[in-house]
Amino acid sequence: MSKQSTGVPPRGGSKARPRPSNRGGGNRRPPKRRPSRSQGRFYGLLVALVVAIIAVVAVLVVTSTGSTSKSGNPHQPAANYFFNGVKAFGGLGPEHVPTELGPALASPNANLERDTTSSIVDGVQCNAGEKLTYHHHIHLSIFINGKPYSVPLGIGMVPPALVENTSSGPFAVGSNTCLFWLHVHAQDGIVHIESPSVRTFLLGQVFGIWNVTLSPTQIGSYTGNVTAYVNGQLWNDDPTQIPLNEHTDIALNLGTPAANPPAIDWSGTGL
């Protein structure tokens, strides 16, 4: 009589494979754990924070370099400056300073011809070459009844000035005869002070060399009340006595309204 199967394997039959063990230095890796929702949120916030920091840094860099400036120049807020509805300064000239756009107040060395190297005007000499023992620069702008007038290139250079045309505009390199210690190379209002000795020069000496009248009641051929700003501050004395210290910014006004343009940022000019 046959035995009925009970479904239980007989003894000595096949055995189930033993599960691997890490005992004895096995190489089995623990199963990977999926990050929890809280960890996912943490990593998401961390990424967002990094992106935000990068964006802030980018904005600061753009602001500091001025790459979005309407003037197109990171160092010159005066570029493309309007006053009283009129554009007074344009783009950068050959000295990396905004050009002055108004008509010239007067021609360079107006009505005054000098032909010897011994010429002296208001204590300022005219020499064959530049004297660079004492060398610095100031910026001068002029407004008559709210309208801009430019300081022409060639002031302080015995005419005719030697002018070169650059990609940024004309530049007066000098004179075949002589140039004064105070002179102007470009139509940007920059006056070069180049002297063989250290001394204090005054704005009145620039106008003396230019042969243009300057007083508390007159600029050139225009008469009225003269208002001057020096480095943005109102000057209450005779404008001829304004000292030409290094990087002084001077705005002369006759009549109203009186302009006080943005100062020149000298850091980008090399002057």
Strands 218-219 and 214-215: antiparallel
Question: What is the gyration radius of the CA atoms in the chain, in angstroms?
Answer: 38
User: Domain spans of the chain?
Assistant: 82-260
- H/E/C letters for each residue in 173-186? EEECCCEECEEECC
To the nearest whole percent, how much of the chain has pLDDT over 70? 69
Distance of CA 257 to the CA centre of its chain: 26
Q: Residue 57 pLDDT > 80, yes or no?
A: no
pLDDT value for 73: 56
One-letter amino acid identity for 193? I
- The rounded distance, in Å, linking the Cα atoms of 184 and 99 is 13
pLDDT value for 56: 46
* pLDDT tens by residue, 138-161: 999 999 999 999 999 999 998 889
67-89: average pLDDT: 75
245-259: average pLDDT: 97
Minimal CA–CA distance to 228: which of 239, 217, 218?
A: 239
Minimal CA–CA distance to 252: which of 180, 101, 108, 151?
A: 151
Which of 30-44, 89-103, 176-190 is predicted least confidently? 30-44
Q: Residue 168 pLDDT > 80, yes or no?
A: yes
256-265: average pLDDT: 95
Q: Residue 25 pLDDT > 50, yes or no?
A: no
Q: What are the DSSP E strand ranges found in 43-102?
A: 82-83, 86-87, 89-92, 98-100
Residue matched to tokens 């243009």: 212
Q: Which two tokens stand for residue 165?
A: 């045309």
Q: Are 100 and 148 in contact (CB under 8 A)?
A: yes
Identify which has the larger pLDDT, 19 or 242.
Answer: 242
* pLDDT tens by residue, 58-69: 434 333 333 333
- The rounded distance, in Å, linking the Cα atoms of 58 and 238 is 48
The one-character DSSP state at 74 is: T
124-134: average pLDDT: 88
* pLDDT tens by residue, 196-216: 999 999 999 999 999 999 999
- The rounded distance, in Å, linking the Cα atoms of 28 and 26 is 6
Strands 98-100 and 134-144: unpaired
pTM of full prediction above 0.75: no
Q: Which two tokens stand for residue 80?
A: 């493309």
Dmax (CA) of the chain: 149
